Amino acid sequence: MISILNKTHKGWVKEYKFHDKRKWRFDFANPSLKIAVECEGGVWVRGRHNRGKGFLNDMDKYNEAAIMGWRVLRYPPDKMMGVVDDISRMITE
């Protein structure tokens, strides 16, 4: 995925720690653009991201990211390839 993301714009990294005090990481991030991509697994099997505590923790993470100026794109695993078009639109708009 990193090689695909770097075709849109250089500087993408995997498991980027974006917060100094929390252990929060983005699945993929471009720090210079402040764009992050999260792959949200377990959508149909009641995984961590869609059960109570995990869902609330994700809200804290994404709200803090927004406060810090990050734009976060979230996808289920089967839609991750759509990220390229979305990022291209974000960069050009």
What is the per-residue pLDDT across 2-39, written as a single tens digit (0 to 9) for each? 888 888 789 999 999 999 999 999 999 999 999 999 99
Question: Stretch 61-76: mean pLDDT, rounded?
Answer: 96
Q: How far apart are the C-alpha atoms of 86 and 83, rounded to whole Å?
A: 5
Task: For the sheet with 35-39, list strands across it.
Answer: 13-17, 25-30, 35-39, 71-75
**pLDDT surpassing 60 at residue 88:** yes
Neighbours of 30 (CB within 10 A): 22
pLDDT given for residue 45 in this prediction: 56
